[in-house]
Amino acid sequence: MPVHNKEIAKILNEIADLLDIKGENEFRVRSYRNAARTISGMTESITQMADNKKQIQSIPGIGESMAEKIEEISRTGTISQLDKLRDQIPASLVEIMKLEQVGPSRTRILNEELNIESIDDLKKAAEKGEIEKVEGFGKKTVENILREIEEYSKKGGSKRVKLHEAGEVIGPMIDYLGKKIDDVTVAGSYRRKKETVGDIDILGISKDPVRAMEHFVNYEEVERVLAKGETKTSVKLRTGLQVDLRIFDKQSYGAAILYFTGSKSHNIALRKIGQEKDYKINEYGLYKGNKRLAGKSEKEIYEKLGLGYIEPELREDRGEIDAAKKGLLPDLITPGDIKGDLQAHTTATDGKYSLEEMSEAAEKMGYEYLAITDHSKKVAMAGGLDEKRLAVQIREIDEMNRKMKNIRILRAVEVDILEDGSLDLPDEILKELDLVVCAVHYNMNLSKRKQTRRILRAMENPYFNILAHPTGRMIGKRSGYDMDMEEIMKEAKNKGCFLEINSNPDRLDLNDQYAKQAKEIGLKLTISTDAHYTGNLEYMKYGVAQARRGWLEKEDVINTRPWKELKKLLKRK
C-alpha cells in the first residue's frame, strides 16, 4: 500500500517536534521541518521515487541523509529513529505538545522551568498563576491554555486535522465511492471549510445500500471497521481519521446534507424558525405533521423557511440567518475572482524553485500577475536579501517581464518589521518596488501594547503595503502574538495599507472571524499563498475558503483587480 506524501511529512514533523522537546540543535530540527514542508507541497508521489535515492535528492532542499530517511519511510511506512525518540520522550509530554497554545518548544520550557510532565500538571500550574511568571507566557496565553485543556478533555484527547490534510485523504476516497454510489457528498465541518476538521461525514444515494457499504469497507485505506449497517457504516482509516458513510433516498438527500453539514448552532436556529411555522425539520426532510413538504434539496428547505440559500461556509450562526431573512447575504468571493498572487518565494531565499519556474507556474494558472516576495536580510536562516541582492533581483524580474507574454511579475519583498517598528531595508530600495509585504518573524513574545505599537509604527513607513500573516499563528503549533487587532485594522484602513489572508493551510491567517471584522471595518484584504514551491500556488483555494467563511465578496479583496487597478490601490495616501 503506497505511503502518501502527507504521511511522510507527518512523520518528519513528529521527529522535529520530539527533537525540539529534547532541546536538539535548532538547525537539525529545522531540516526535518523543511523536508516535511517540501514534501507536503509536492504533487508527485514520493513513494514512486523510493527506488531511486538520487531522484529524491534532486528535490530542492533534500540532502543525502534526509533522502535515506525518506526512502525508509516510503518503503516501510515508519522509521526506526522515530521509534527511538518515542521511547525517550514520555507520552504525557507529547500530549502537552499537541495543545495548540503550547507546542514542542514551550513544552520543553515548561518542563525545564516548572517540571510540568502532564496535562494535569499544566492545568494546576496555570490555575496557580505559575505559568505567567515564565518568560514568553502572558496572562492571555495562560487563559487560552486553560480553555484548550477544557476542550481537549471534553473530546477525550481527540485531535482534529487540518483542512488540507483531510482533503488529501478524502479526495481519493470520494473518487472510489463514486464508482458504486450514485451521488456522494462530504458534509460536516469539511464542507463548511473550517480550518480543522474532526470525523468525516459522507452522504450518498444508492439503490443497493448493502452493496454500497461493502464497497466502502473494502477501500484500501480502511484499517478497521467500527460499525457496519445498511444505512450507516463507520470506519477508521490508517491515517487515524474516522469516516462515517450514510445512505439516503433522493427525497431525503437535501435534508440529510443540510443536517449533517451543520453547524449545530445553525441547525438549531433553522429548527426554531420551523417551529414558528409549525414545521418539523430533521435529516429526512421538512414536515408539516406527517407530510414531507421539502427534503430533496437544501434550497427548497431554505425557501420553505422564508430564507435565501445560505452557503455552507456561512453556516455558523453568526448573523447569516438574519441576513438571509433580509435578502442581505453576501455574494461570496470565488477562486475564479483571483487575478494574481501577492506573496511567493524563489531560490533567491528559502523558496525551492527559480524565478522563472515560479513565473511559468503562475502563468499556467491564468494569473495576470505574481509578486516575488523573497525575505529581507533579517531572516538570515533563509538567506534573506540585503539591498544589493534585492537590486539584482529587481533587474532579473525586469528581464523576466520582457520574456513573459501573459503575466506580469511584480518587484516585491517580504521585509521584516524589526522590534522597534522600523523596516529591515532602507526606503531607497523599497521605493523601487511595485509592492512591499511586511511581516513579523522575530520577537513574537512582546506585550500586547509593544507588539501593537511595533506594527503601527511600521505602517507609518510610506512604502508599507501589506501586513503578511498578521497574527503569526501556526495552526496546531502556536497561537500567534498578542496585539490589538481592531486598532491595527482601523489604522491600516486610515493609512491605505492592507492585511493578508495567508492561504498556507498551516497558517490560514487571518482567521475567518478577523476577516469578517475587517469587512465590517471597511478594510480590504489580500489573499496570497506565501508559495515556496510551484505546487503551493494551488493553496489559493484554502485562502478563498477562509475569505468566504469571513463573508468576503470580490470587492473586499484587492487581488481580484487587474494590475492597472491594483497599482492605484497600492499607492499610499
Q: What grid cell was written down for 47?
A: 513513494
Is residue 496 within 8 Å of residue 529, measured between CB atoms?
A: no
Q: What is the pLDDT of residue 1?
A: 60
Tens of pLDDT along 155-195?
554 568 899 989 988 999 999 999 999 899 999 999 999 99
Distance CA 389, CA 31 (A): 25
Which has the minimum average pLDDT: 38-47, 107-116, 347-356?
Answer: 38-47
Q: What is the pLDDT of residue 58?
A: 78
Q: How confident is the model at residue 50 (pLDDT cuts 50, 70, 90)?
A: low
Which has the minimum average pLDDT: 111-120, 171-180, 288-297, 461-470?
Answer: 111-120
Chain centre distance of CA 533: 16
Q: What grid cell was written down for 55?
A: 531522484
Q: Backbone phi, then psi, for 471, in 5-degree steps? A: -95, -15
Of the candidates 427, 509, 512, the one whose C-alpha atom is nearest the C-alpha of residue 467 is 509
Tens of pLDDT along 214-234?
999 999 999 999 999 989 999
Distance CA 172, CA 82 (A): 28
Of the candidates 525, 530, 503, the one whose C-alpha atom is nearest the C-alpha of residue 162 is 503
Q: What grid cell was written down for 10?
A: 507527518
Q: Can you tell me the mean pLDDT for 9-28?
A: 88
Q: Can you tell me the mean pLDDT for 298-327?
A: 96
CA contacts within 13 A on the Cβ side of 257: 26
Q: Backbone phi, then psi, for 570, in 5-degree steps? A: -80, -10
User: Which residues are CB-neighbours of 318 under 8 A, at least 6 positions away?
Assistant: 516
Tens of pLDDT along 353-373?
999 999 999 999 999 999 999
Q: What is the pLDDT of residue 382?
A: 80
Strand pairing partners for 409?
Answer: 370
Inform me whether the pLDDT recorded for 540 exceeds 70: yes
CA contacts within 13 A on the Cβ side of 521: 22
Tens of pLDDT along 22-43?
888 888 888 898 888 888 777 7
Distance CA 553, CA 329 (A): 10
Q: Tell me the three state secondary structure of residue 510.
A: coil
Inform me whether the pLDDT recorded for 60 exceeds 80: no
Distance CA 499, CA 187 (A): 31
> Residue 167 CB: number of other CB atoms within 10 A?
19
Inform me whether the pLDDT recorded for 523 exceeds 60: yes
Sheet of 340-344: strand order equals 340-344, 369-372, 408-416, 435-439, 466-467, 498-502, 525-528
Inform me whether the pLDDT recorded for 207 exceeds 80: yes
**Domains, the chain, ordered by start:** 5-89 (1.10.150.110), 161-248 (3.30.460.10), 253-326 (3.30.210.10), 335-570 (3.20.20.140)
Buried b / exposed e over 63-96, threshold 16 CB at 10 Å, is eeebbebbbbbbeeeebebbeebeeebeeebbbb
Q: What is the pLDDT of residue 94?
A: 84
Q: What grid cell was written down for 390?
A: 534585492
CA contacts within 13 A on the Cβ side of 507: 22
Q: How confident is the model at residue 83 (pLDDT cuts 50, 70, 90)?
A: confident
Q: What is the pLDDT of residue 104?
A: 86
